[in-house]
Structure 1
Amino acid sequence: MSKLDVFIFIAYLLGIVLFGLSFYRKNKTSSSFTLGNNNLPSWVISLSIFATFVSSISYLALPGQAFLSNWNAFAFSLSIPFASFMAVKFFVPLYRSVNSPSAYTYLEQRFGPWAKTYVSVMYLLTQLMRAGTILFLLGILLHTLLDWNISTIIIVTGFSVMIYSLLGGIQAVVWTDAIQAIILIAGAVVTVITIMVKMPEGPWQIFEIASLHDKFSLGSFGLSLKDSTFWVVLIYGIFINLQNYGIDQNYIQRYMTSGSDKAAKKSALFGGLLYVPVSALFFFIGTALFAFYKASPGLLPEGIQADKVFPNFIVNQLPVGLTGFLIASVFAAGMSTISTSINSSATVILTDFFNISEDKSEHNKKSMRVLYLSSLVFSVLGIGVAVAMINVQSALEAWWKLASIFSGGMLGLFLLGFMSKRVTNSTAIIGVIAGVVIIAWMSLSPIIFPGTGLESLISPFHSYLSIVFGTIVIFITGFMFSILRFTARKQKMQ
């Protein structure tokens, strides 16, 4: 990278931090820190929801997937309109009626403290791993491009995001998300235009080469549940996005920052729908890169991994100045996700784990103290996870898998409480245990049983379906036990 590119990237990083810090004066109460005083513009919240969908993982992985194979993973994006509709119709009105900064207050009201504690802890674990993973990937990217020390990159980036998230609260997070969303979209558009201009025989050569190699395929439309067919990815996307919109604090907190139900619904709808064309743009970048390097053999290093093709193009093929801008757009995707995790996690910790007296003279001071300390601790732990991943990725991957298994029960528990009023506390617990056991079996059996003589116990289903089957089992088990209990009580009364 040239000095100009490095300057542009560093200027972006400093600019985002300073802009986020400008909200410090508006962030003196717990309400402003967690909900932005409920007066943030709907277009800003829409972009923030979109930026929450997109991380640096998406920015690099989606082009990598399209380069390596096809558009099969785009089926995930096609599930978002359904989840967005459900959010507008059911989830936004529900959470705004509960009127709590935490998404998990509803579960406490429905099933008691155990439900709130279970889901809150699982949320915090997954967010910690997510923030650490993204910081690690950003560190790897900049280390590869500039040969800077990876630990230093992780620490500087992590503390940069922490500073404006901690001092600026949700207003800083949402507004910087909006700016970062615009930057990452602009970066993707610039990339597509550049590739088109660089094609030896013009832009249409991309479509000719891609069509010849079936790169626009959405995958198999077969009914196998063992492979990542179009239907498996689509169903997986529906359940994951229902979990995002229905139970994820990152999204639900944004519903609450709007000034009205109408504005919240509008933000939820457009924030999700925007991801569909933008993700298509990311997939097209991967397809276009495949066509570009096919048409220009020798430009791509031998044996390069698919997810490193896009960074390689950014560094070696973009004009000076644009490289720095594109690296900034990749960091924008990552920083927006990390800042969201910091603020949302601090909000969950305050709301779900601290019972602060309502005495007005002390309430705000104590609340702000908890929010600041929680943001600091979460950020330091996230940085620690990222640094640890440099040397002990296998252990942290195991932790991530275990957290995913336990968090897999979140959606089922929510749907159980939301869709059936008969389900009680005890039947919900039975349902969650059954669902978590199914998810654990589907996730871990391919790792535990090979070579043990117990291969028949290995799950025959694709791993994407673990949350699908787990959620269904939780719902059916909880619902059926509630019916049995209701019937038994009725017979006793007779």
Structure 2
Amino acid sequence: MKNLPLLDLAIIAIYLVAMVLVGVYFSRRNNSSDQFTKASGLIPGWAIGLSIYATFLSSNTFLGVPGKAFGGNWNAFVFSISMPLAAWVASKYFVPFYRSTGEVSAYTNLEKRFGAWARTYAVVCFLLTQLARMGSIFFGISLTLQALTGYSMETIMLVTGICIIIYTVMGGIEAVIWTEVVQGVLKTLGAVLIVYLIVVDMPGGVSKIIAIGQQDDKFSLGSLSLDFTQATFWVVLLYGFFINLNNFGMDQNYVQRYHTASSEKEAAKSVWLCVWIYVPASLMFFIIGTCLYAYYQVNPELIEAVKLQAAAERLGLNANSIEIKNLAASLQPADYGDKVMPHFMVTMIPTGLIGLIVSAILSAAMSTISSGMNASATVFSEDIYKRYFKANISEKQNMKLLHIATVVFGLLGMICGIAMIGVKSILDIWWQLSGIFAGGMLGLFLLGIISKKSGNMEAFAATIVGILVIIWLSLSNLIPVDYAYLKNPLHANMTIVVGTLTIYLTGAFITRLKSKNI
């Protein structure tokens, strides 16, 4: 490793070993599938809340949010503002619903409500969402560590992935939750430390940062106009509400945690604790992005290396230095935003502290990936293998299945991360993919719990219509210019909003139409 001093390497190594040892510790009592997936329902609400918070606060937040704020403004913070409303719906309706069913999978009820196809459809959507999430997080962490170590992004994904797989397989959901409690604290302290280091080194301090931010409109939450073709305040608010509703109500990562709580009250409390911590914590990452923007406005010579790197990546290996310099001079902050925080860490953070901050970023990645691996393995076991291959398997066989599935989904997440190398914005690609995959299953779920008279036929027809609409929304950019009038005019973040409403409203309309004809 060519950039990190020995002390920082030692700190990172100690952190990685500690995470593996957590898995070893919990493996001693992780001897049943109930323990692996539910922790036997013995986790306190505060720990679950911190765990959910840690899952939300992934490396996409740690790296992607400062990059967005550096290249733009605080428009994406509106996503966080939408969380309390989604949490209210979840704690009032979703938590009691899942606790009453007793089913560890979030999707078993869909089969009871509409048939096997509905359960399978939701499971496929969930697994695709998880692979997209894990891939984007693997990509984000490797982007940072590549700048620090010089190793290839593929090598970094492999090393970190193996550590995550070990403690997730050995410790199950209990290891995931308790490591996330530690990781949630660590990543928050890391963010506070970064803000402090920027402000201390900034000529003029906080007042200068605020002045530059106001001058360049960096604190804007977006336009308040009712324009759904741009990332306005209302577009991000709608996207945030629907995606958070999907997270709290349909995402196995969160639903599974409701079952680890000792009571319904503790489960609901965990949702609110997550929200009240996440909203101000996410704001801090926007502050980091704005602080970095102001810092490099005052010290423009310090950012030249990042611009040259971004230009070189765009032009490829065959470019000469003049071409690279010319392109670098024309790049805008949004073109290299995701590279700024890693660059600041490499060049400005003192020895010892950088090891702590890298550990914080690692924790941001590891918490979300481990959670996704455990949830994906649980869904595969409950909703695919037991449903379609062998329903009655022994406890030993089930544990072996869960372990193998955890490893497989971890490896698939790495492959997705490798496939994302070269994307412009981590946050943008994650938001777009999650909106595509989540819209369908949330609409179907809402139809099932709100429209009591909707049956199998109405739900199936509504889902087909919804899938067609989502495909059109997602792929209309492939339509030739001659047929431009057929293209989707809406912003990409509206996909989950339109997809969800299409399925729910279509199903409700067909149900109403059918009841009138009877």
TM-score class, shorter: over 0.9
- Go from structure 1 to structure 2 and tell me whether the alpha carbon gap of 1:386 and 1:67 turns closer, same or farther (over 3 Å shift): closer
Distance 1:427 1:172 in 2: 42
For the Cα contact (< 8 Å) 2:74–2:222, is it kept in 1?
yes
Correspondence for 2:60: 57
SS in 2 for 1:320: coil
Correspondence for 2:315: none
1:275-313 deviation line (CA, Å, top 9, x unaligned)? 110010000000111111222332222525111111111
1:199 aligns with 2:202: yes
Offset, 1:269:
1.2
- Go from structure 1 to structure 2 and tell me whether the alpha carbon gap of 1:389 and 1:284 turns closer, same or farther (over 3 Å shift): closer
Correspondence for 1:417: 448
Distance 1:454 1:72 in 2: 32
Distance 1:478 1:241 in 2: 22
Letter in structure 2 aligned against 1:135: F
Offset, 1:427:
0.2
Mean Cα deviation higher: 121-130 or 315-324: 121-130
- Go from structure 1 to structure 2 and tell me whether the alpha carbon gap of 1:350 and 1:131 turns closer, same or farther (over 3 Å shift): same
Counterparts of residues 362-401 of structure 1 (less than 5 Å): 363-390=394-421
Distance 1:76 1:392 in 2: 21
Letter in structure 2 aligned against 1:463: A
Distance 2:450 2:342 in 1: 45
Distance 1:195 1:141 in 2: 18
- Gapped runs of 5+ residues in structure 2? 311-335
Distance 1:69 1:251 in 2: 31
Distance 2:112 2:69 in 1: 44
Correspondence for 1:143: 146
Offset, 1:485:
1.4
Distance 1:402 1:384 in 2: 16
Correspondence for 2:372: 341
Correspondence for 1:96: 99
Distance 2:429 2:63 in 1: 23
1:289 aligns with 2:292: yes
1:252 aligns with 2:255: yes
Distance 1:251 1:314 in 2: 32
Distance 2:204 2:61 in 1: 30
- Go from structure 1 to structure 2 and tell me whether the alpha carbon gap of 1:110 and 1:133 turns closer, same or farther (over 3 Å shift): same
Counterparts of residues 291-310 of structure 1 (less than 5 Å): 291-301=294-304, 303=307, 305-310=336-341
Mean Cα deviation higher: 105-114 or 289-298: 289-298
| Count of residue pairs brought into register by the alignment | 482
- Go from structure 1 to structure 2 and tell me whether the alpha carbon gap of 1:202 and 1:132 turns closer, same or farther (over 3 Å shift): closer
Equivalent of residue 487 in structure 2, options 445, 458, 483: 458
Offset, 1:252:
0.5
RMSD (CA atoms): 2.2
Correspondence for 1:175: 178
Counterparts of residues 154-173 of structure 1 (less than 5 Å): 154-173=157-176
Offset, 1:482:
0.8
Offset, 1:358:
8.8
Distance 2:208 2:506 in 1: 54
Distance 1:347 1:382 in 2: 16
Ranges of 4+ aligned residues in structure 1 off by more than 6 Å: 356-359, 397-403
1:418-461 deviation line (CA, Å, top 9, x unaligned)? 1110000110011111111111111111x21243x100101111
SS in 2 for 1:23: helix
- Go from structure 1 to structure 2 and tell me whether the alpha carbon gap of 1:149 and 1:448 turns closer, same or farther (over 3 Å shift): closer
Letter in structure 1 aligned against 2:350: P
Mean Cα deviation higher: 142-151 or 316-325: 142-151
Mean Cα deviation higher: 85-94 or 190-199: 190-199
Correspondence for 2:282: 279
Distance 1:369 1:237 in 2: 37
1:437 aligns with 2:464: no
Distance 1:89 1:327 in 2: 38
Offset, 1:321:
0.8
Distance 1:287 1:141 in 2: 19
Correspondence for 1:32: 35
1:105-131 deviation line (CA, Å, top 9, x unaligned)? 121121121111111122112212322
Correspondence for 1:8: 11
Offset, 1:369:
1.6
TM-score by length of 2: 0.89
Offset, 1:399:
13
**Identity level (%):** 45
SS in 1 for 2:145: helix
1:251-272 deviation line (CA, Å, top 9, x unaligned)? 1001111000110000011112
Offset, 1:140:
2.7
1:332 aligns with 2:335: no
For the Cα contact (< 8 Å) 1:49–1:272, is it kept in 2?
no
Mean Cα deviation higher: 13-22 or 131-140: 131-140
For the Cα contact (< 8 Å) 1:406–1:436, is it kept in 2?
no
TM-score by length of 1: 0.93
Correspondence for 1:448: 478
Distance 1:438 1:41 in 2: 42
Offset, 1:404:
5.6
Distance 2:408 2:121 in 1: 20
Offset, 1:11:
1.5
